[in-house]
Every structure is written in structure tokens, then in C-alpha cells.
Structure 1
Amino acid sequence: MAPLSSTSPGRSRLRPGGAVRRRSATHRSDVRAGYLFIAPQAIGILLFVLVPLGLVFYYSFHEWNVLAGDFTFVGLENFDKLADDPQLGTVLRNTALFSIGLVVFNLTLALALALALNRRIRGMTFFRTLFFSPVVISLVAWTIVWGFLLQDNGGINAALASVGIEGPNWLREGWGAMASVIVVQVFKNVGLNMVLFLAALQGVPTEVLEASRMDGANARTTLFRIVLPLISPTILLTSIITVVGSLQVYAQIAVLTQGGPGISTTVLVYYLVQQSFSFHQFGYGATLAIVLFLIVLVLTIIQWQMRRRWVFYEN
């Protein structure tokens, strides 16, 4: 009797080398597809982030007079000027005051609105839309309207006068001007953080809240011990977005106060734009941009590192 063949007549022989080659070709195809998908984003980052950032550092070692067409290497002179600038300390203090006020009031108000509107009651959709609507309004149009309201004879002082209160000249007094700019910016963007907090609150498991109520936890304990830890990733996200945004505010100050009275509302972004395009000191403006970049970078790293201490992750 003839020995049985190791393969049946109807079955093809296995070819391990061919299977490996097919897997290798498939892997290369997947890699090429992956690179093609990320190519637009990578090119965009290169052209609109890394190249401009490199040019800022390059310009900081030069002085560029656009009117005279003069582009001169000056070494560290712009950094020496930065160290000797008598207005820089006030500008940095204004920037810190504006950012702290904006972040605290924005996040607090956004969370309070989200908690108040996170209910299944008739009319909640209207109020959510109402508070979110300033986000989609033109920034300049929003600021111009508030500029008319905050004038000495504007709508806000007229309303105060109707109840016997004499309002200040909001945009011409140091404390009033800074407070006005902060309030205008808070009302403009609070709706965005409110929506993010609403989405996070609606993701909190209802069984966890019911269990806390059954255990006798009051509303305060439930909020601080359960709800806030569960939405802490969203709090981290909104805080980073708000901090970075607060350091980049320019249009509101340009329209409302032009950095005044004096330089009491001149923040770093407004100051660097002023030095670059009003005084035509582009090299010094680039140096100020580096300072802004470092501030944003340091604050973002600090916030990101803090996540290990106060951000709760389910896994």
C-alpha cells in the first residue's frame, strides 16, 4: 500500500514564506496610509507653528525697520532692552491680574451655570442657548456694544442712575477699566466652558449619585467628593484652554481701552503688538513674543503635571 501523503489532493500546500511576505506588504501599506492621513496635520504644524516660532527667535536677534528697509543683526541688544524696560513690570503685573481674574470668574461662573442647567426641566434648552450665544457673536461687535454700555453716559450708568447710584467712568479709571475688560471677556466665552461642563456632568453615572444620596450625603458633599472628582479631566481641559486664552487677549483691550488709562490695562500681547506695529520695533516685539511663549509653556506644563494630584481617572 502506498504511503499516505501529508497533504490531501484538494488542499494547497502551506507556504510560510508567502504568508510572511503578504503580512509584510500589508503592514507597509498600513504604514503608508497612516503617514498619508497625518501628513496634512504635520505639514500644517510645520508651516504654521514651527517655522513661525523659529522665525520669532531669529528676528529677536535682529532689528527690522520696515519703513527704512533696514534689517540688522544686533545680537542680545533686544534682550538687554527687555531687562531695562521700565514698563515691562507693570505690563506683566497687568497680565497676571487679568489672567487670574478671567480664569477664576470664567471657570466658577461656567461651572455654576452648568450645575444650574443640568436638569430636565422645560425651558432649559432656551437658557443653554442663551448663555452660549455670545460665543458665536463676532468678537469685535460684542466689544463695541459693551464699549457703548460702559461709557460715562452709557447704558450701565443710566441704569444705576435710575436707582440713585452714580456710576464711575468705567473705562477711564484704573480699577474700573481692568474690571470692565475682565467682565466683558468672561461673558463672551463663559458659554463654551459651560457646555463642556454640561457634557461632563451628564456623563456622571446616575447610580453613583443615587448611592451617595442613599448613604446620606448632602448636596455639598456630593458636589465636592463625587461630582467634581469625576469631572476633573474636563476641569483640567477648560483650565488650560482658559489660561492660554487669557494670555492671548488683544482685540477687547484694543477696542475698549487701548491699554489705558495710562498702561493700566496694557497686557503682554497688546504691548508686543504695540511695540511691533505702532513703534516699528519688530525685533523687540519678537523678544516679547518669546517671553509670552515661555510663560504659556511653563503654565501649561505646571497644569499638566498637577493632573497627577487632582485629576481623577476612572481606570
Structure 2
Amino acid sequence: MTTTAASDAAETTERRGRAERPPRPAGAHRRRAAATRGDWIVGYTMVAPAVLGALAFVIAPLFAVFWFSLHDWNVLANTFVFSGTENYERMLSDQGLHDSLLASLWFSIGLVVLNITLALFLAVLLNQKLPGTTTFRTFFFSPVVVSLVAWTIVWSFLLQADGGINGFLSLVGIDGPNWLRNDFTAMMSVIVVQVFKNVGMNMILFLAALQGVPEEIMEAARIDGAGAWRRFRAITLPMISPTILLVSILTIVGSLEVFAQIAVLTGGGPGNSTTVLVYYLYQQAFRFNDFGYASGISVLLFIIVLILTLIQWQTRKRWVFNEN
């Protein structure tokens, strides 16, 4: 009886509330729908330039390059004949391509290791509260804003047999080599030039990450007796690991796309010791006019970059702080 009476009272109250509620204006629903459509239009208008730009300059060229790679395309001979997977089969037996892949591997390893290590070392030093740190930050960052070609041309003069570096070494009794005419020294020279060009950017990224490490955590570890190296290994590195991931992805991708330094400093030589993948692609397209095969190499480069990026992204959960 009591439950039934309570239910009847609740139903009566609900009916009274609906009866007393003012009627909704007839055009309210239409105005709300129009406002929603207006929001959609504004949103699509805002993102349209980026979407259209990506379609026109990223997606469409990718499909075009893949389509070109399925053809035998020679501009001078004016031939554009469908060849299927012939260009990709040719890659399997192309020793020049294999040498360029090996050169790219050595270049990437040297660049990534030296660049990231030096950038992190400089960032740790410049993160100290010492006089003159602002000047040194400017000094190390200034090559980033210098023209790449101008920077490389200056280094090409410094690395000659009678250039500035050997002239400096002669002052201390050392007879320097012709840096750009030996397989090993030529590759190391290109790596060092590229490291000095871009280390400032990675240094700034690491410096920003280091300044975001909470001082309270470092102070607590210091009070507990942790030394400088233990604090750096157990606290600083995990805290800046997202920035390390970003820097490693950018550096690896950049190392696989190097071209101007090779073209200006060594021209791919001596022999083919510094002919990296992008420079070999350039040779096939603009020296031998084999644009179909060059397009196939472009697809190969895209796949390599994609795979390396995905590997780094998937393995981040094992070493990047706060990743699940």
C-alpha cells in the first residue's frame, strides 16, 4: 500500500511539472539545427586549407611516385611505358643501390650517435647557472639559421688538402690528410659537418626539457645521497625521454634525407663511398634520366623511413617515461 501510494504521488508530481513547463518555441529546434550546421561549416572551413594542402602536396605525390615507379620513364627519349614491377626487381641486383644503402646506414649511425650525444651533453652544461651560458647558447645555435649551402661551401674549403683545418694542424706539427679524398675521412667529414650544422636545434630541445625537470625531485634525491650521475640516470633521463624520442625520430629521418652536403662536399665520392640513398636517387633521375627507377627508389626510401619511425613509436612504451 505504501509503495503504491508513493508511486502515485511521484507520477502526479511529474504530470504537474510537465503541465507547468512553458511550451518550447516552434522554431527552437530549427534554430539549434542551423547553429549546429553553422559550427560544422566553420570547422570544415578552418581545416580545409591544411587538408587540401596535405592532399595536393603529400598524398597525391605519393600515389604519383608509386605510379611512376611502375613505368619505364625516360624524359630525353620521351618514353613512358608500363613495366610493372621491373624497377623493383632491378633493385635486388643493383650493386650501386646496395652500396648507397650501406653508405646511408653508416652515415645515419654516425650522425644519430654524435648529434644526440653532443646535443644532450651541451644542454646539460648550458643548463647550469654559470656566467656566459647565454652567449654559448647563441654560439651553438647560430649554425642552425645559416644557409645550408653556404655552410657546406665554407666547410669544403676548410677540408681541402691545403685548407684551414690542415693549416691549423701544421702549426702543431701534424700533416693532415686530404679529408675529402679518402673513403673513411670523407664520410666522417660529411657527418661532422652535418652534426655541427644541426646540433644547436637538438640542444635547444634538450635544454627546454631539462628546465622542465622538477627541482623538488632532484633536491630530494640529493638529500637521499644520490650522486650526480645517479640523479641524471635515474631521474633526468626518464623525465626527458619524450624529448629524446622526438629528437631521435627527427635526426634519423633527417639523416636519411641528406643531399646538399654530399653534393657540395664530395659529389658521392671518392668512388661511391659517400653516395647515400638520396644522392643515388638524384643520379638516376637527373644524370641518367631514368625517372621510373628513381621513383622506385623514392618508394623504397619512403618505406624505410616509415618502418624506422613505426619501430621507434612502438618501442617507446619500453623506455619513454609515463607511456602506457
Please tell me the TM-score bracket, short chain as reference: over 0.9
Distance in 2 (alpha carbons) for counterparts of 1:124 and 1:16: 67
Distance in 2 (alpha carbons) for counterparts of 1:26 and 1:226: 50
Find the partner of 1:160 among 169, 172, 177: 169
Q: Quick check: which has more Rg, 1 or 2?
A: 2
- Residue of structure 2 in register with 1:173 after alignment: 182
- More helix by percentage: 2
Q: Which moved more, 1:296-305 or 1:206-215?
A: 206-215
Find the partner of 1:296 among 290, 300, 305: 305
Find the partner of 2:153 among 118, 121, 144: 144
Change (3 A) 1:314 1:52: closer
Once the two structures are superposed, residues 235-273 of structure 1 have per-residue CA deviations (whole angstroms, 9 ceiling, x without a partner) of 100110000000000000000000000000000000001
Find the partner of 1:183 among 180, 186, 192: 192
Amino acid aligned to 1:205: P
- Residue of structure 2 in register with 1:3 after alignment: none
% identical equivalent positions: 61
Are 1:283 and 2:308 counterparts?
no
Are 1:85 and 2:104 counterparts?
no
Find the partner of 1:68 among 45, 66, 77: 77
Distance in 2 (alpha carbons) for counterparts of 1:28 and 1:310: 45
SS of residue paired to 2:322? coil
Shift of 1:76: 1.8
Paired residues for 1:48-63 under 5 Å: 48-63=57-72
Distance in 2 (alpha carbons) for counterparts of 1:223 and 1:184: 29
Distance in 2 (alpha carbons) for counterparts of 1:93 and 1:314: 33
Paired residues for 1:240-279 under 5 Å: 240-279=249-288
Find the partner of 1:115 among 117, 124, 131: 124
Shift of 1:176: 0.3
Distance in 2 (alpha carbons) for counterparts of 1:271 and 1:220: 44
Amino acid aligned to 2:63: G
Once the two structures are superposed, residues 61-83 of structure 1 have per-residue CA deviations (whole angstroms, 9 ceiling, x without a partner) of 11222122221112222112111
Once the two structures are superposed, residues 34-93 of structure 1 have per-residue CA deviations (whole angstroms, 9 ceiling, x without a partner) of 211111111111000011100110000112221222211122221121111122221111
- Residue of structure 2 in register with 1:233 after alignment: 242
- Residue of structure 1 in register with 2:219 after alignment: 210
**Residue segments in structure 2 that go unaligned for 5+ positions in a row:** 1-15
CA RMSD of aligned residues (A): 1.8
- Residue of structure 1 in register with 2:45 after alignment: 36
**Residue segments in structure 1 that go unaligned for 5+ positions in a row:** 1-5
Distance in 1 (alpha carbons) for counterparts of 2:290 and 2:160: 33
Contact 2:144–2:197, Cα closer than 8 Å, also in 1: yes
SS of residue paired to 1:298? helix
Amino acid aligned to 1:203: G
Aligned length: 307
Paired residues for 1:20-35 under 5 Å: 21-35=30-44
Change (3 A) 1:141 1:28: same
Q: Which moved more, 1:136-145 or 1:37-46?
A: 37-46
Shift of 1:14: 4.4
TM-score, structure 2 length as denominator? 0.91
Distance in 2 (alpha carbons) for counterparts of 1:90 and 1:40: 41
- Residue of structure 2 in register with 1:128 after alignment: 137
Distance in 1 (alpha carbons) for counterparts of 2:26 and 2:107: 67
- Residue of structure 2 in register with 1:305 after alignment: 314
SS of residue paired to 1:299? helix
Contact 2:317–2:323, Cα closer than 8 Å, also in 1: no
Amino acid aligned to 1:159: F
SS of residue paired to 1:27? helix
SS of residue paired to 1:63? strand
TM-score, structure 1 length as denominator? 0.93
Q: Which moved more, 1:18-27 or 1:186-195?
A: 18-27
SS of residue paired to 2:84? coil
Distance in 1 (alpha carbons) for counterparts of 2:309 and 2:323: 23
SS of residue paired to 2:200? helix
